[in-house]
Amino acid sequence: MSEIVYFNSVSDYNDSCGVETLHPLISILDLSKCSPRDWKAGTKVKMNFGIYAVFLKDVKCGDIRYGLDYYDYQEGTLVFVGPGQVWDIEYEISNYQPQGHVMVFHPDLIHGTSLGKTIKDFNFFSYQMNEALHLSLKERQIIFDCFSKIEFELQQTIDKHSKKLISANIELFLNYCDRFYDRQFITREKPNKGVLEKFEDLITSYLSSGTASVNGFLSVTYCANELNLSSNYFGDLIKKETGVSAQEYIQNRIIDVAKERILDFDKSISQIAYDLGFKYPQHFTRLFKQKVGKSPVEYRNIN
């Protein structure tokens, strides 16, 4: 049975590493200077996060799982954790010494700041499985520079400027990570194309097999699960590859199929709507008119 560890505060995480808490809402640690983990090889630990955490690992030091899949979590990668996530960690060696760096911060730190309003736009806090950010040496240096700026502020006496400056530097760090993920989507163009092709096949199969009439309208979450990707990573990948959101891509493909089926006069518009996964025909009519400029009946009559 897995041991459960809760990190609901910055001090919770610092205590687990055997270090002093300098700021109640944020901490940046060099893991090589922290206390070794005293768990035995083969120990399984379930970590429940109530805070944000960003891990920069220098070496492979255990297999981390999120859900049923392993993180792509090797040397020189950044992995992001958001509040509410649970990690399963399987330790490969006894009393191992972690290597790398981690930044943890509490949601309270960014409430009322510019970052507090945009934090949900950084989708990589919900990425999982093989979706870690792989850094070049130059990118790693930029990350360390950002950490250095934040650490400088943590060493100063807390005043009325502290919260604004610290959150601004975290936001700068996250904006760089956003840029680096864009680079990673581009440099992994070939495997991304494979995902897009599988996505196309999945849509075609879903609509042609009768699954839509049973399970309802095809969702982004369903597609992401079928392709073994997190919804956010999958959505970002499709947006980068096609220029439209995954939801809009699905809608466009459904409308293309609908145009063909509307010209089959043996089926009513309502039946076509149900076959495409719409719960109510009027929803189909609304979407079709939005995309085509004419209602399904008008489109049928014109053609």
**What are the start-end ranges of the H helices in 155-219?**
162-187, 189-208, 211-215
Cα 144 from Cα 114, distance rounded (Å): 22
Give the H or E element holding residue 105.
strand 100-105
Q: How many residues does the chain have?
A: 303
Quote the pLDDT of residue 2: 62
| Residue 174 token pair | 């996250």
pLDDT of the chain along its 303 residues, tens only? 567 889 999 999 999 899 999 899 999 999 888 887 776 777 787 888 999 999 998 644 444 444 444 444 444 789 899 998 887 777 666 666 778 899 999 999 999 999 999 999 999 998 865 688 888 889 999 999 999 999 999 888 888 888 999 999 999 999 999 999 998 888 776 777 788 889 999 999 999 999 999 999 999 999 999 998 889 999 999 998 888 999 999 999 999 999 999 988 889 999 999 999 999 999 999 999 999 999 999 999 988
**Contact predicate 282/295, CB 8 Å:** no
Quickly count helices (H) and strands (E) in the chain.
Answer: 12, 10
Residue of 172, 68, 162 lying closest to 122 (CA atoms)? 172
Query: Phi, psi (5° rounding) for residue 7?
Result: -115, 85
Cα 158 from Cα 24, distance rounded (Å): 11
Quote the pLDDT of residue 96: 67
User: Which domains, from first to last, does the chain contain?
Assistant: 3-187 (2.60.120.10), 190-302 (1.10.10.60)
DSSP string, 124-152: GGG--SS-PEEPPHHHHHHHHHHHHHHHH
What percent of the chain is predicted at pLDDT more than 70?
Answer: 89
Quote the pLDDT of residue 87: 78
